[in-house]
Chains A and B, each alone.
Chain A
Amino acid sequence: MKKIKYSILAFLGLAMVLTSCQPKAKTTNGALSSGAAEKVYVAPGEHDEYYAFISGGFSGQLSVYGLPSGRLFKVIPVFSQDAEKAYGYNEETKPMLNTSHGFVPWDDSHHPDISQTNGELDGRYVFINGNNTPRIAKIDLTTFETTEIIEVPNSAGNHSSSFVTENTEYVVAGTRFSVPVPQRDMSIKDYKGNFKGALSFISVDPEDGGMDIKFQLLMPGFDYDLSHPGRGASHGWFFFTTYNTEEANTLLEVNASQNDKDFIAAVNWKKIEEYVNNGGGKKMPSNYAHNVYDEHTHTATSTMKKEVLVVDPSEVPGAVYFLPTPKSPHGCDVDPSGEYIVGNGKLSADLTVHSFTKMISAIENEKFDGEAYGIPILKFEDVLAGTVSQPGLGPLHTEFDGQGNAYTTFFISSEVVKWKLGTWEVIDRKPTYYSVGHLMIPGGNSRKPFGKYVLAMNKITKDRYLPTGPEVTQSAQLYDITGEKMELLLDFPTIGEPHYAAGIAADIVKANSKKIFNLEDNKHEYATTNDNDVKVVRNGKEVHIYMTMIRSHFNPDNIEGVKVGDKVYFHVTNLEQDYDVPHGVSVIGANTSELLIMPGQTESFVWEPKQVGVWPFYCTDFCSALHQEMQGYIRVSPANSNIDLSWSLGE
């Protein structure tokens, strides 16, 4: 009995201690603190402070969130068809998904990056890579639509991309898998020495953003994992992490993990650019798609390119060096000053940081430790700036706050660790839920990170949300990093796998956001910008319907004379010129998707009627008080019918 009494007392005592501790805990316990909700609260009608562009990973898309609220605004279709926006379904955007392998309506989108001017985010474009069928896409931030996709030849597993140099001179596309270049039928066992890793430098036109592969560097057959551009003093260099320097071709989990150190490849792209501009490199026959969406014709065209310029690094002395880095480094991150290059050795217990200054001095003094395929290897000790020792398990990615602090994710120990550049001491660590991959500080890949939040992107959520069967959401977590200690503010679910993200102050982007397309600028081949020009035209077995739409009717709304076996093109122009008044249209039995047409825009879809009848079409996007009345009929007669084409509205 006594014992029980004591334990009750002890329990009460403990409860009191805990209770009395609570007010204190409120200020230090992250998510438990009431302040966290206030910090992420964006009142109704108010705007978020930042845009976050979060990759959809295996969804092939890019989603747009607001920070700090974590609210989802838009999913931008990039590499995957999207029925919601008719992307990849309508005639205008089908060419965007063309490749040398044909129509590829899916990809694995990993790393978005925002265009820069003078090392600062300018908010014009977001670039993102397609990993599976190597491609780089450009999203225009006036429309938040994908406007250009370039396929990357000689590449496979386009993973170490898409990162931009500090004036958006180039966006890079580094291959993760080395492959035979050019592709050919050969034994896989002969991988070593025969496969190549292509690092592609895609130039971006400063005026219109047009992309073009300027050159490809044909590197040894390692796996090129991630990359980052130099900046400041190291502007002109690009750094790529490698693994499988063993050049194994089977059971890589073991065979690619044998070397104690792999490399960070340091590429002096300015030197290679100069070499190329002076006629260096050689043109190699190739076949890759370049797809461009024109805002005025509202239509994409796909061009097959037949040549690519390749450069053998051994022919440009002084352009490429290897920095030994333990052990199978994954993330490759350069701090805002451009001095420190962090190699996150995912199998290493420590974090390795190289010094750009030391690298240059080692190169000048020719302190080499051998070479690989003609590329000099620098001595590890000569380029090492420092080591963050035993910071956690499985370091992956690092970002910087611009105040001399770095934040690294640890996949295995599920945490974000804050440490100090120069002293290499760990300042703080916070758990993530769970298995964090990349993290992002808005402005991370630039000279000026905004340094207010860090966003951790997690692969696994298990118990964090309501269960939704075996497949549960992946998530992002937002931390306040304005203080010495990080504070977890918010978790929110994400689309697909949140692979990496790019963040930017909303003010830089939102003022340029388009509200409508000007009807007078509509140069679509099948546009009908005036109600008087509405028509239906037969061309053999093709029927082209030139239709307009406005609140709350289609013109025409009655169409007759279509026959079974016809290929019917609906070319529909939205005549509205008011912000946020899109209309939709689809017809029963359509094998594509609906069209979602913005004010002033024209879109087309094909309908192949297979059954005789009178079939309705209707507006699919709520548009007005009379949205339900926005409908029409199309009559389909037998194939041998001789009913003439006719169309009408209001008769």
Chain B
Amino acid sequence: MKKSRILMFLGVLLPLMLFVFPLWNITLEAPQYPTPLGMDIYINDFADANPHDIKNINLMNHYVGMKYIPDAIPEFKIFPIGIITTTIIGLLIAFKANYKWYLYWFILMAVLSAAGLYDFYLWEHDYGHDLDPKAIMKFTNPDGSVMGFQPPLFGSKDILNFRAHSYPQLGAYFMGVGMLLSFIAFFVGKKGK
């Protein structure tokens, strides 16, 4: 088998690790939480980093009127279907198609990832801004607007007494490496031509 095809196979299969490892993690640090509160986001679920973390995040966030983190969101149904679909497409490409299609698969994945990230951003924005009007504590920004409590999409940020961290996890890295491999496979294929 050609080297490029092997790379493509590997690249296509790696995103399946998303079903094993978390995609993303949000961690909240504060002085009174020596063990920070954390939430792992899987392709199909929210999970506690330590037992009961989500429950405790909810309890704490209700002071400013944030909604409870839902047990499930529609994305948890769509994302797995998306990953399985792109994997099947990728496998078909790896079996049947020539190297040019490797690039198309890479672009497809890049577009879908960007869409996923944007969706994640929208969810975070809603979570951080759609506050209960009867909230116990109300905070405003220096300009007078209502303060939002949106966690960062990527990176670290101070939110009141908390420092929030939001970073991709192992599942996301596997997907990234997979995409990179398909991109490399395209060039290897092109060179071999």
Contact = CB atoms under 8 A, between A and B. Distances in A.
16 contacts: A516-B52, A550-B59, A551-B59, A576-B59, A577-B51, A577-B52, A577-B55, A577-B56, A578-B52, A578-B55, A578-B56, A578-B59, A579-B35, A625-B63, A625-B136, A626-B136
Chain B facing A: main interface SS = mixed
B101 to A, nearest CB: 50
Contacts of B56: 577-578
Contacts of B59: 550-551, 576, 578
Nearest to B48: A577
Given A576-B59, A577-B52, A578-B55, 15 more contacts: A516-B52, A550-B59, A551-B59, A577-B51, A577-B55, A577-B56, A578-B52, A578-B56, A578-B59, A579-B35, A625-B63, A625-B136, A625-B137, A626-B63, A626-B136
Contacts of B52: 516, 577-578
A550 B51 CA distance: 17
A576 B63 CA distance: 15
Q: Which of B35, B51, B59, B63 has the most CB of A within 10 A?
A: B59
A34 to B, nearest CB: 32
Interface string A24-66: 0000000000000000000000000000000000000000000
A46 B176 CA distance: 42
A577 B54 CA distance: 10
A578 B137 CA distance: 21
Contacts of B63: 625-626
Interface string B116-135: 00000000000000000000
Q: Which 9 A-B pairs have the closest CB atoms?
A: A577-B52, A578-B56, A577-B55, A551-B59, A626-B136, A625-B63, A578-B52, A550-B59, A577-B56
A551 B35 CA distance: 19
Interface residues of B, number: 9
Interface string A530-572: 0000000000000000000011000000000000000000000
A576 B51 CA distance: 12
B63 to A, nearest CB: 6
A578 B55 CA distance: 9
Contacts of A625: 63, 136-137
Which of A516, A550, A578, A626 has the most C-beta atoms of chain B within 10 angstroms of its own C-beta?
A578
B61 to A, nearest CB: 11
Interface of B: 35, 51-52, 55-56, 59, 63, 136-137
Contacts of B137: 625
A576 B59 CA distance: 9
A471 B56 CA distance: 46
A579 B32 CA distance: 10
Contacts of A579: 35
Interface string A619-639: 000000110000000000000
Interface string A300-344: 000000000000000000000000000000000000000000000
A525 to B, nearest CB: 24
B172 to A, nearest CB: 28
Nearest to A578: B56
Nearest to A516: B52
Nearest to B56: A578
A550 B55 CA distance: 11
B34 to A, nearest CB: 9
Contacts of A578: 52, 55-56, 59
A155 to B, nearest CB: 44
Nearest to B37: A578
Contacts of B136: 625-626
A516 B52 CA distance: 10
A206 B136 CA distance: 51
B149 to A, nearest CB: 16
Nearest to A626: B136
A316 B136 CA distance: 75
A511 to B, nearest CB: 14
A163 to B, nearest CB: 37
Residue from B35, B51, B52, B137 having most chain A Cβ neighbours under 10 A: B52
Contacts of A516: 52
Nearest to B32: A580
A626 B56 CA distance: 16
A625 B136 CA distance: 10
A577 B55 CA distance: 8
A577 B52 CA distance: 6
Nearest to A600: B52
Contacts of B51: 577
Interface in A596-633: 625-626
A606 B101 CA distance: 75
Contacts of A626: 63, 136
Contacts of A576: 59
A535 B137 CA distance: 30
Nearest to B55: A577
A520 to B, nearest CB: 11
A130 to B, nearest CB: 37
Nearest to B51: A577
A578 B35 CA distance: 11
B129 to A, nearest CB: 22
B24 to A, nearest CB: 23
Nearest to A579: B35
Contacts of A550: 59
B128 to A, nearest CB: 20
A577 B63 CA distance: 17
A550 B60 CA distance: 11
